[in-house]
Amino acid sequence: MTKLWGGRFQKDTAGLVDDFHSSISFDQRLYRYDIRGSQAHARMLARQGIIAPEEAEQIVSGLEEILADIEAGRVQFSVEAEDIHMNIEQLLTRRIGPAGKKLHTARSRNDQVALDVRLYLKDEIDQVTGLLEQLQKTLLDLAEEHLDTVMPGYTHLQRAQPVTLAHHFMAYVQMFARDVERLRDCRRRTDVLPLGAGALAGTTFPVDPAYVAEQLGFAAVAENSLDAVSDRDFMVEFVAAAALIMVHLSRFCEEIILWSSAEFAFVELDDAFSTGSSMMPQKKNPDVAELSRGKAGRVFGHLMGLLTMLKGLPLAYNKDMQEDKEALFDTVDTVKKCLTVFTPMVATMKIRRENMARAARGGFTNATDLADYLVGRGVPFREAHAMVGRLVYYCLEQGKSLEELTLDEFRQFAPAVGDDVYRAIDIRQCVAKRRVLGGPAPEAVREAIARARERLQNQ
């Protein structure tokens, strides 16, 4: 098969090289964007008098027919044609004749692939953003249901202070909101038209990139032809943002895995989002959460792969850059799959409120509130801290909780304790008193939910 670039060569490419060189096995997913870009390019060529209007019409309609054939499964892509761009161009030329050979005027595959990937990634960013927003809405609904569900907050995975499940959910709402912000910011830098850069030095034809940008919905046009075809920082930025999404998902999954264990028993996952054991009939495994946690690693690997691929490349385009697409495509697929299954898994899990409350009452999670109470009665904080530390040690020796101590026992270590101490260290009061911005008090969390809903509505 004669290559479209084969005029300078006297021998056919070796079959092994064709297979090694070809990217059609993975870049065929860009076909819609390649066709859209080519149609816009053809219209621009005609508008600028570079090709005849009737030729542009043939090209545009021929590409529309090819699009329909591809989506109907009637097209067999060729490895010998190397990539999606040359496959479509060859299909077009066979379909409409000589006019098809004029489509590539004033462009290169270098600026063509950069265009396709930017078009693709803008759409995918919008889809991932939508999935993140749906997850946030689910968590906001759950938070409203659990404003009064008290649970232990942890540091070092040790019970620390009482919070609410709503407050815990809202922490992830904040994380995912920042993920959306990063994606939107990345999209702004992706939304730049590279077509017109040619192979690296633009073109001598009087092209009009601004017209192409308008047709394709780009907000800006690349200002340097070398940069337009040779950098993939927008892709790196997306994969970095995706890696952080997976960090947040993975942390959440880790907690769900812990919470669904018998040792915590805070939640029970719905049967539809759990699996069993082939050997142990009693098992109910959180495999969806575990697999999502595991998939974070492949996204991290793609980020490192892209950075490593780019770091040693001189300007402008180098074939190494073909390695960008599989990393990008798999990152997109992985994040979308994880978000798609994670949201209904969380929405359907059963919350065991009593177990959470029982855990919050254990582990002396109200010790800090006792120290604060003493400070309110004139005891310097460091002295109050030491007194409560000794009280906790005493409780451990006696097998008691702070609430079970008598006033006399309190006063052995903290003479300033009054009759109102029991209210001060009641778990629900400990939560309710933390009304500061970002705190776990139900009224503070309710306000946080309202702000988050408003932000989502205005995006």
Q: What's the number of CA atoms in the CB half-sphere (13 Å) around residue 299?
A: 29
Catalytic choice (25, 61, 261, 277): 277
Identify the burial level of 241 via C-beta atoms within 10 angstroms of its C-beta, where 0-12 means exposed, 13-18 middle and 19 or more buried.
buried
Q: Token pair 């063509």 is at which residue?
A: 112
- How far from chain centre, in Å, is Cα 21? 31
Q: Is the dihedral of CA 325, 331, 336, 341 positive or negative?
A: positive
Q: Of 1, 99, 85, 5, which Cα lies nearest the Cα of 55?
A: 99
Residue 391's CB: how many other CB atoms inside 10 A?
A: 23
Q: Which string of DSSP letters, residue by residue, matches 308-348?
A: HHHHTPPSS--GGGGGHHHHHHHHHHHHHHHHHHHHHHHHH
Which of these, 4, 37, 83, lies nearest to 195 by C-alpha position?
Answer: 37
**Tokens of residue 201, six digits:** 């030095």
With residue 160 as reference, give the H or E element that holds it.
strand 158-164
Per DSSP, the three-state class of 267 is: strand
Other C-beta atoms closer than 10 Å to the C-beta of 11 total 6
CB 392 within 8 A of CB 364: yes
Hey, what are 277's tokens?
């054991």
Q: Which two tokens stand for residue 370?
A: 């006792």
Euclidean distance between CA atoms 271 and 247, whole angstroms = 25
CA pair distance 264, 349, nearest whole angstrom: 15
Q: Choose, from 22, 41, 156, 292, the residue flagged as catalytic.
A: 156
104 part of the active site: no
Q: Which residues are catalytic?
A: 156, 277
